[in-house]
Amino acid sequence: MPQHHRAPRRATQPHERPTTAIQSQAPSGPTAAPPVMHAGASQVPKGARPVARGMTALVHSSDLQERIRMRALSLANRFRVIRTIDVAVACFAERPFKAALTAAQRATRGMVKEELLRRYRTDRFQTVYGLTSKGVEWLDARGIEASASVRRVADMSNPEHRLWAQFLTLCCEVRGLNAHTEQELMQILARGAGETTATVQGLLRVSVPMTRGARRLDLRPDAVAIEPDGVTWFEVDRSARGADRAASLKALVLAIGRQTQLDEPLRRVIVLTRTPRIDNRVRASLNALALESQNFALTEGRRLLRPVGPGIYAVIRTEEEVLRDGRTRLVDLCAGHVIVQPLPVWLPKVRLDGRDGHACDGWFDENYLPYVRATPMPSWQPPPSPLLPRDA
């Protein structure tokens, strides 16, 4: 039976280099230039791409972790109780939602492991965090006065309303606005009032019609933001409004355009609703007010409510205008807007493995947070990263 013999392999001489994939693709011929071999080219796998370093290309990883912890722990010291999504807003708002949530979860796990934060579960099965004494020491070592909040957080059974109010405050700050929660606002008003005047009880005083006549009330927002044209007022509706609260909302809406205790006019009232049922009830109440306001007498100072879009209402104020010949006339001007939109309760429920089925809609890459900008206002600009140097 014939035997097949393999041709002996030619040994590579010491002065010769093995032929690489780059060399095999080089053009041949007498005029072809020799291939250029870069240092380390033989160590790069075929088809591999350079790894994008992201922020670490501008900030060292240890400095980046320091900045994340500084913002997160300062947040826990400011609000006393925080969620992972608060860290995502404060530190990673410029990223897509899943990337921001992943980074926030990694950061909170590290701080819990090092006992800078302590994890708790509320009665509504929400995971919240409080600042520990070790976290206070970490902040004190960096020149920030702080106090622990773990005992207070442990006693909180359902801080959902508080959590959403501070979430909206953070969303406003990410957009570059000066914003405050109700507690922070009342402290500011108290400092501004001084000791010689009466204590300020609210941001705006309105006359609310009741069953037994009108009643003057001092109303407070759940969160407030100061914009170039005035004040934006946030209301978080977790439950259906009763008759008195519905009347207060109507009075607040008709007060748009008036001066507030911040010496700025009220321009927008944003109502964020927790469930579709609450959303329908709020819109029904505002639609009834729109029909009712059509019968108001045509006088100076009249305010009308007009639907201009899904969940968006314009507040029209009638003012007197003086003409060139000295005559006067009444004209209708837009004093501000009322916007009703769902509270993004689906965002904290998102699981990164996708098994929950919750959408990631409504993050900062959309015109949604902290509220939907109505025409003629421009849409929100993408937020910058607070972790990068300002000159980066």
Instruction: Tell me what pLDDT residue 56 has.
Output: 57
> Cα angle at 291 between 312 and 300, to 5 degrees?
90
Quick one: DSSP state of residue 318? Answer: E
Percent of the chain at pLDDT above 90? 61
Query: Which two tokens mark 41?
Result: 């080219």
Q: Are 133 and 61 in contact (CB under 8 A)?
A: no
Spatial CA neighbour of 48 closest among 24, 74, 21: 21
Quick one: DSSP state of residue 82? Answer: B
Q: Are 187 and 134 in contact (CB under 8 A)?
A: no
Q: pLDDT by residue (tens digit) across 295-352?
A: 888 888 889 999 999 999 999 999 888 888 888 888 999 999 999 999 999 999 887 7
Q: What is the C-alpha to C-alpha distance for residues 378 and 376, in angstroms, rounded to an integer? A: 6
Instruction: Tell me what pLDDT residue 307 has.
Output: 95
Q: pLDDT by residue (tens digit) across 270-285?
A: 999 999 999 999 999 9
Give the residues across from 119 on adjacent strands: 129
Spatial CA neighbour of 203 closest among 255, 249, 245, 261: 261
> Cα angle at 290 between 289 and 294, to 5 degrees?
110
Q: Are 272 and 235 in contact (CB under 8 A)?
A: yes
Helical H segments across 242-370, by residue range:
243-254, 276-293
Q: pLDDT by residue (tens digit) across 343-360?
A: 999 999 887 776 665 678
pTM score: 0.83
- Between 374 and 32, residue with greater pLDDT: 374
Q: What's the chain's average pLDDT?
A: 85
Q: pLDDT by residue (tens digit) across 128-184?
A: 999 999 999 999 999 999 999 999 998 888 899 999 999 999 999 999 999 999 999
Which of the four pLDDT bands, split at 50, 70 and 90, describes residue 213? confident
CATH of region 57-158: 1.10.10.10
Query: Which two tokens mark 64?
Result: 């980046």
Which of the four pLDDT bands, split at 50, 70 and 90, describes residue 50? low
Q: What is the C-alpha to C-alpha distance for residues 68 and 62, in angstroms, rounded to an integer? A: 10
Parts of the chain belonging to CATH 1.10.10.10? 57-158
